[in-house]
Amino acid sequence: MSLPDSWAAALDRYPYEPAHEPCRALVFHDEAWHWAMSRIHGERYPVEHPELTDPSPEYRTALP
C-alpha cells in the first residue's frame, strides 16, 4: 500500500477530529494507530507485522 493510500485508509477508519469537537478529548485504551493497522493489515497485524505494533517516530511527530 502506498503512503498516500495508507493515510487515506487510516483517516477513513479513524477520521481526524478538529479541536472544537466535543468528544475529541476522550482517551481510549487503543490509539488510532492500532485501529488503522488492524483495518489495513487485519486483526493479526501484531503477529504478522510486529514492526507495526508501535507507531513510528515519524508518525508521532506528524500528529497535529
Yes or no: say if 39 and 11 are a contact pair by the CB < 8 Å rule. no
> How many structural domains are present in the chain?
1
- Residues contacting 45, CB < 8 A, separation 6+: 37, 38, 52, 53
Q: Closest Cα partner for 7 from 33, 45, 44?
A: 33
In a domain, 45, yes or no: yes
pTM: 0.54
Tens-place pLDDT, residues 9-61: 877 777 677 777 777 666 666 777 888 899 889 999 999 999 999 988 888 88
In a domain, 33, yes or no: yes
Cell for 49?
A: 507485522
Residue range of the domain that includes 46: 3-12+26-62
In a domain, 18, yes or no: no
In a domain, 37, yes or no: yes
- Rounded to the nearest angstrom, the gap between the alpha carbon of residue 57 and the centroid of all alpha carbons in its chain is 13
In a domain, 21, yes or no: no
